[in-house]
Structure 1
Amino acid sequence: MVSAVFHSPLEAVDTASAPKSAAAPASVHKAPEPAPRRPINLARFWMRVLPPLAGFGLLVLVWELIAMRSGGGFPAPYETWLQAVKVFSDPFYSNGPNDQGVGWNVLSSLQRVALGFGLAALVGIPAGFAIGRFEFLARMFNPLISLLRPVSPLAWLPIGLLVFKGANPAAIWTIFICSIWPMIINTAVGVQRVPSDYMNVARVLNLSEWKILTKILFPAVLPYMLTGVRLAVGTAWLVIVAAEMLTGGVGIGFWVWDEWNNLNVANIIIAIFVIGIVGLILEFALIKIATAFTFEEVKS
């Protein structure tokens, strides 16, 4: 026979209300020791810092040697630095349409790039989706793209001047025509590389073309599309400088040409650095955006 032992509720209360000193001594918990600090990897740090510094140092050295051999015709680095301090002390002055600060010239060029690039994106990205999605359109437009894409963007500038009757719309047209090809090609390639299993599932589910575009194609093609956008922006920023040299007006390209007419070589060198820095900022920003929307397997 199994005997059951019953405890009175009063015993439970007495046990709970008993002083802690009567209970069994609790184990003492020590505070966790702080993790040891990882030593600074000086070798890795210097490998990240020294090569860029060495590259810039080599550039300055070659620059100084060229200035010394030119006999004063080519500005030295220190002379250019003093002129840059003067230029950037008031970058937004305006003394008329042909005499404005470097800030206004950069903003004018960026405005033209934004307009031409925006129009190219409105046309090129949907065209890329259509060409990649439908084989008939791909066979129809591939020969035209292969024929027109290698043409220098500046070759389109006279056509823009003839059609639009103005320098500013002609420059925007040149940006448009040079920006549209990378977006069309990269978007179309992205659509064509969508796994066939995705499209088979879409057919089984009898999805509409709009749902195929928004639910399947767009998420899969986005990394390719952003790569085309990044390439297009880089090309547009390269072309606008040359286009503005030919069309005139306010802009960083016109500023370079105007300073050459004034034989101010120091300002030309400053403009070269400004063009490079702005292009680097645009490239870095678009790389960050593309990385944020790229899947891990595409990154690797």
Structure 2
Amino acid sequence: MLLAEANQTSEVTFILLGFSEFPDVQVPLFLVFLTIYTVTAVGNLSMILIIRINPKLHTPMYFFLSHLSFIDFCYSTTVTPKLLENLVMEDRTISFTGCITQFFLACIFVVAETFMLAVMSYDRFVAVCHPLLYIVIMSQKLCASLVIGTYTWGIVSSLTLTYFVLALSFCGSNVINNFVCEHSAIVSVPCSDPSISQMLCFIITIFDEVSSLFIILSTYISIFGTVMKMPSTSGCQKAFSTCTSHLNTIPVFHGTVLFLCCVPNSKNTWLIVKAVSVFYTVVIPMLNPLIYSLRNKDVKKRFRKLMNHPTLFC
């Protein structure tokens, strides 16, 4: 019986419709997404390299930023290559194993980014509100523990959701009206009742959003209160400048997540879901390194040095 179920599962395939309803824009979309992915890969890998080779950037803030860049690169690499393939190939099928693997990896990196942004807000809170104790509080051990905890919760969440997706029964070819194997798309095609999996995904998403936003809001309320008490204007500006890049990233990421949670799951909203999913999975990983590099003098200065003296890469 188990062998029969395994054979049935191996025969299951998914068809990612993507943007097939717009055949005239397949090639332009391919070129746009390829450009975005190239910028994403180069931007995030350059950020990691710059932080790695510059001793002045070996601080907790840049340590977390390097992991944010790593997460963005991995997330984009999990989703975009298959999207690009479907835009130029007539065969848009993906195996059951490939679809589940894409979902599993994407889920890890989404959850990890959610809490990495919360960790970075805590780092800014300590830097602004307790500057004299910053090095003591943000020790290497604590920084490593926060990063490990972020990845661990991402893996636990992904394993839980993937387990309940695997518990569903799928029959033959399943048409997914999206370009990525995300949860709502997968659970819209099974032969069995997906209500438990949907409820679990809703609970985990709400928990992640509420807990991470609570950390971010509480830390920035404390930061704002501390800055308002500073006697000098220059001190206020310096304190806010260390938080500007992070503040620009938070509404973009969490705003998109909350919007996707609020969009009703119906045939009339699939186009909206796909458009927002493109921004969420393809564009945001490109924006983060741009936001941090353009707003950060240390990163821009180091990048110029590397461009003028390429041998520094060695």
Higher helix share: 2
Question: What TM-score does the superposition give when structure 1 sets the normalisation length?
Answer: 0.30
Higher relative contact order (CA 8 A, sep 6+): 2
Structure (1 or 2) with the larger CA radius of gyration: 1
TM-score for both structures, normalised by structure 2: 0.29
